Amino acid sequence: MWTLCILFALLLCHVTSPAPVIPAPWGSIQGIDMEGRGGRKLSGYLGIPFARPPTGELRWQKPHPHPGPGEGKVFVADTVVPACPQDTAMLGVTAGTNEDCLTLDVYVPATVTSPRPVMVFIHGGGMLYGESAPYRPFKLVADGDVIVVAIQYRLGTLGFLSTGDDTLPGNLGLWDQNLALRWVKDNIRAFGGDPEVVTLFGESAGGWSTGLLIELSRLLDCEADTDKKAVECLKTRSADDIVNKTNEWMASSGFTNTIGVRVDGDFIPRDPVELTGDEQYVQEIGMGDIDVIIGFNNKEGAIITIASELEGSPMEGFSDAMMFTSILEHAVKQYNNGQTSTLLNAVVDFFYRGADAGSNNSVPLDALVNLFGDMMFYAHTVEWLRPLAAQPHKGSRYLYVMEHDFHFNRNRVRGSHHGDELWLQFDMVFPEDSMLPKLNKSMSHLSEEDEKMSDLFVKIWTDFAKTGNPNAPLQTALGGDWPEFTSENEAYLSLSLTPQVGRDVMRDRVALWLQLVPQIVSITQRQEEQPAPADSTKDEL
């Protein structure tokens, strides 16, 4: 049974002694025993390479499986390893960066008496940032009695640069994730895990790569008459130079997320929303049999305030009408084939600002947060889930909204921001150079209410990982089961310390982006395609 969770997220432990050597098919692996918050204990196997270093001629190629330590040798997996190359000013990194970064961490309960369900965590960061080290799953492993695997994958230019053809098709970070999952399938039984009961969970993000190869070639003296020659030249440049020049170009050009997942005809054969609506494709890949929980936090859009908060002025600048309009126009382009539209701008502006639409009046912070959350997270989530629920399926489909009032947001935008649920699942301490501790040091500990929410959240997730059914910890509060999301009811769980079942999540806001805006786009296109009427004027003379 495979299940899937999608969440819209320095060693925090005391190392006590070496853990048992694992005789895996890949090779023998020595880990360490670890102790986390509340005295929770587990065994950790850190920095296991699942792929050969993607350097030299292997740069910008699909990952090649790592052969293991060799017969008679033991791989010592007791140290945090470098992150994949990235701009470290954003999240910071624990142990530096290196192209030799395709590794995974395995966390095992202190005692394993029977094959345990496996949860594989894929870190977020917009395909640009992140690493596995900060995410220490003591509570998931010790309390939930599951095995957790955290993986690393290539980021930014090194993971998602594309020429749009066979020269460099892109999506290499996704191929890294795929190979890591194959490693888990082949080796997790040796750790006490069940390779047939695997749950994927993580934070999902992405963008699109546009024209970057040309700019990188120019900035790194690799201009050539073909993309293939430019790529071969760029393979001779250092990873640091590539990352730095990418950031330099993005900053100067105004593009902040031009690198990411693309439809390549291979890993992603067609647009993901189109694929989920293709019944034959869904059945062919077995998606109809996979259990799914997908959800988001009720204040996802508050992520847009982070930059201002880091500068010491938490809300300054976020009432500016020009900033609101800029985000609005970007949102409209997403749904209008990349084109601007005065009509759509006016409609969306009125939806969020009412009678202030079109004015220079200050914008309520909630309007900005809602706009950003709706177009980045909420509408896309429902758009993806609806066809999965409508098609024949054996697997369960659940939708939730995290409504918990985190204590560290009570002087900010109250509620659950982007990534906040990770603090419920993991013992997390980010490096000192990370923006997150600077943003709010109180995030490094949970209040009593947050701890209770963490207990409930971990129980829901680990029960789901074991059985595909998350209902046991919810039945008393709900007076029954959390109903699945179907085409008829579109049920969702409002998740807090007093959970409730709702219908038609954020109904009007989702309908704006999935119904009204597409209708206006369609009508406008039809009008533009109609031939102009013939001149009906007559010469009266």
In the residue annotation, 359 being an active-site residue is answered as: no
In angstroms, the CA 204 to CA 476 distance is 31
Tell me the two tokens of residue 177.
Answer: 């994730």
In angstroms, the CA 378 to CA 371 distance is 10
In angstroms, the CA 169 to CA 175 distance is 11
C-alpha atoms less than 13 angstroms from C-alpha of 318 in its C-beta half-sphere: 24
C-alpha atoms less than 13 angstroms from C-alpha of 468 in its C-beta half-sphere: 15
Helix (H, G, I), strand (E, B) or coil at 528: helix
Helix (H, G, I), strand (E, B) or coil at 440: coil
Tell me the two tokens of residue 218.
Answer: 């120019």
Q: Is 297 exposed, middle or buried (0-12, 13-18, 19+ CB in 10 A)?
A: buried
Residues 6+ positions from 266 with CB-CB distance below 8 Å: 169, 171
In angstroms, the CA 482 to CA 491 distance is 8
Among 17, 43, 132, 204, the active-site one is: 204
DSSP-derived secondary structure letter, 51:
B
Q: Is the separation of the CB atoms in 469 and 396 below 8 Å?
A: yes
Residues 6+ positions from 184 with CB-CB distance below 8 Å: 104, 118, 120, 149, 193, 195, 198
Tell me the torsion sign for CA atoms 378, 381, 382, 383: positive
Give, to the nearest 10 degrees, the angle between helix 227-234 and helix 212-219: 50
Residues 6+ positions from 530 with CB-CB distance below 8 Å: none
What DSSP string runs through 273-334?
Answer: HHHHT-HHHHHHTTGGGSEEEEEEETBGGGGGGHHHHHTT-TTTTTT-HHHHHHHHHHHHHH
In angstroms, the CA 181 to CA 195 distance is 10
Widest pairwise Cα distance in the chain:
105
What DSSP string runs through 383-429?
Answer: HHHHHHHHS--SS-EEEEEE----GGGTTSS-S-BTTTTHHHHSEE-
Catalytic residues: 204
